[in-house]
Structure 1
């Protein structure tokens, strides 16, 4: 059973959701929403069942996601030969590969070493430290999910922020703190645009493109990189300038000691 923070294992909410989903499912099958289009009506029933079970965590989320695999063929919505490949196409495999890289990076702290090496090379004043974090976040987001990168980078950024707040006080370092946290967020978002695996919407676009235009040449990884990387660089520079020079200018003396970055790197 799911260990949802609100709906505890075996909770009343889960049991109600389980039976409510089944009742709604059967009602929609018995009373179609569109009599002239039976497959669409049955699809609506499956969609409502999945939505209710997902929201209430009636059964594990991954189990709910597998319902179409047997309900679609059983109800005549889509054949098994058409349904099964959707669960394991080239786009899904590419996305899984990105997650595997993220997990191994986290296991061996490779993301931390890469990020701090970039920050150490660029670092200096407060604006350059923010730039270092943005470049590091952007680079990592090119190869793993930008969401995963943000989760990895925030603790590193907070460690630097705490050191600076101890040295200069919370009020004096406030602008730097905000710029750094936003810089990590924007760096991850912008960096994720550069490659197909950087963010799920990129892969979704490629998959939708393949479905809508089956005769068109597929979008290759390198083609996307050549198109998107210059845009990402431009957006990264613009975001950094706005954060550090327009909205959150930080006094030049508010900076982090070089040894602090070295300590974090160890």
Structure 2
């Protein structure tokens, strides 16, 4: 061992030690190593910083942006809602559908981001099904990790291994090269988790209690709104067509408050703000609050040629992504005191409708629009979420008391969902066909997301997980330093010496085990950076194809099931699932062995050495 190699190995050991204790944080460790390695003289400053110009780094950053576009347009959330509706109260069906959906979504966006999206969905499912969250959360993390075994862009380790192949002069992996291994792994994982979930807390455990913030349906009961919610469609022969709302005077004449108007668009419905000059069209759906208790809905429909539409769920559930409610209080500085809601031009000024009023604890049940507001009155107002957000800084006329739980689930660009799917589909087609390089395909997807309004520039920069990028860039110089000092060849010879003249399957199993063990202490991204060149060196030593060895590293890097610190995915579910360290060990270690056996069987079969 040369002095240079000893220095590089000492720095690598220090990095692993700091990673293990997470002190300092991982990206800071990577920056320290980027500074320290050039000081050894083994590599230069330009080589230490070369990772910033690596196409794979740009590709990973672009994929973060595309993933955020899917979140902001509500695509991931709609899949979660579909899951809730389809699974019902069957826990087994929940596990199967949850793992399939999470793996599918995680194949195209960050697995950590997918878990963050689905944690509140799983908690809601657990409450509805009467199950302990711990019986579902582990399935969520396992599926998210397996999603990294599905596509080239599913996880950074895949891209790192792909890039290492290209740097050694080989063709890289194709977009779906990982799927033949990931799909069987998912099937095995589903079967395993249907059994293993029983080890994670029985049905006698109580689900997590709902938060203290109210829900829309609770406000509906508190303010006695349930019987006042209606959706009516404007028929083709309706006398309302072509007439502005102010000419109809529905509030004064009929005791009807138009909260919103749904109007069909090319791909989805749009929400129209009900202004005085808004003209109604055939097919418009009016979302109404009948604040006058004497309103006869059937008579209203006959008079104006309207069709009653069914409500699909709880109060406001049909438009929960566009319309919400907020509870506000009238302070002593308010200019609303002494005025009625009509006189104050509340809807015109705030783009919101008052649908409930309380004085003390008693809800007002009379004609709301004519009631004069008093100091301390609590109003329940409804309207577009964007108007509710604008209301928050205004503390002179109204003080926001409560935002509902549903506020956290609102996506800012729900109407752009079809365009986000179009952009994602184009990116996948370009990557699969290889018409342009992967990084260029991802950048095209980012530009389309921005052009279609799915995501803005500020949101794009916030979406990029800079800590992960700095970690990758900071660890890449180690690969180069180990190669130049002979460390890679030494590691390859040591590993081959351990397995002797064993079969290729045994060598692949050894690579899997070493990679998985490394993953116990450092991130799977850093593990892939270190193990990919070692695996290729072993393939060269054996005069074998590099692809099965590279694929084994990628699969092992994603098989981070064994501890809660093996992957950020596991760490995220630790609290919501109420897990202990041993829960991950007793569930993760057996399935890691399953993943090892599956890889040793499938990899040499589908990618002959």
Normalized against structure 2, the TM-score is what?
0.29
Aligned pair partner of 2:47 in 82, 94, 106: 82
**Greater helix share, structure number:** 1
Could you tell me which residue of structure 1 aligns to residue 165 of structure 2? Answer: 209
Q: 1:41 to 1:238 in 2, by over 3 A?
A: closer
Could you tell me which residue of structure 2 aligns to residue 199 of structure 1? Answer: 155
Q: Could you list the runs of 5+ residues in structure 2 that have no partner in the other structure? A: 204-311, 321-405, 411-609
Structure 1 residue 78 displacement after superposition: 0.5
Q: How far does the alpha carbon of each residue in 1:144-169 deviate from its partner, in whole angstroms, 9 at most, with x for none? A: 2223322321221011101222xxxx
Distance (Å, rounded) in 1 between the aligned partners of 2:81 and 2:106: 15
Structure 1 residue 142 displacement after superposition: 0.3
Residues paired across the two proteins, number: 207
Q: How far does the alpha carbon of each residue in 1:157-199 deviate from its partner, in whole angstroms, 9 at most, with x for none? A: 011101222xxxxxxx45xx55533332232122221012323
Matched, 1:116 2:81: yes
Structure 1 residue 61 displacement after superposition: 5.1
Structure 1 residue 84 displacement after superposition: 2.1
Q: 1:234 to 1:80 in 2, by over 3 A?
A: same
Distance (Å, rounded) in 1 between the aligned partners of 2:14 and 2:145: 33
SS in structure 2 of the partner of residue 198 of structure 1? coil
Q: 1:73 to 1:112 in 2, by over 3 A?
A: same
Could you tell me which residue of structure 2 aligns to residue 239 of structure 1? Answer: 189
SS in structure 1 of the partner of residue 154 of structure 2? coil
Matched, 1:130 2:84: no
Q: 1:240 to 1:179 in 2, by over 3 A?
A: farther
Could you tell me which residue of structure 2 aligns to residue 181 of structure 1? Answer: 137
* Cα contact 1:101–1:144 (8 A) shared by 2: yes
Matches for 1:162-181 after TM superposition, within 5 Å: 162-165=127-130, 173=131, 177-181=133-137
SS in structure 1 of the partner of residue 178 of structure 2? helix
Structure 1 residue 202 displacement after superposition: 2.0
* Cα contact 2:165–2:171 (8 A) shared by 1: no
Q: 1:235 to 1:119 in 2, by over 3 A?
A: farther
Q: How far does the alpha carbon of each residue in 1:36-76 deviate from its partner, in whole angstroms, 9 at most, with x for none? A: x3422443454466567765746x75444234444433431
Matches for 1:44-63 after TM superposition, within 5 Å: 44=9, 46-47=11-12, 55=21, 57=23, 62-63=27-28
Q: How far does the alpha carbon of each residue in 1:71-105 deviate from its partner, in whole angstroms, 9 at most, with x for none? A: 43343111234322234412222222233334444
Q: How far does the alpha carbon of each residue in 1:99-128 deviate from its partner, in whole angstroms, 9 at most, with x for none? A: 3334444455442123323554x4356133
Matched, 1:95 2:60: yes
Matched, 1:66 2:27: no
Moved more, 123-132 or 153-162: 123-132
Could you tell me which residue of structure 2 aligns to residue 19 of structure 1? Answer: none
Distance (Å, rounded) in 2 between the aligned partners of 1:189 and 1:259: 34
SS in structure 1 of the partner of residue 43 of structure 2? coil
Distance (Å, rounded) in 2 between the aligned partners of 1:243 and 1:61: 31
Distance (Å, rounded) in 2 between the aligned partners of 1:88 and 1:202: 18
Could you tell me which residue of structure 1 aligns to residue 172 of structure 2? Answer: 218
Distance (Å, rounded) in 2 between the aligned partners of 1:215 and 1:187: 33
**Greater strand share, structure number:** 2
The structure whose RCO (Cα within 8 Å, separation 6+) is larger is 2
- Which is higher, the Rg of structure 1 or of structure 2? 2
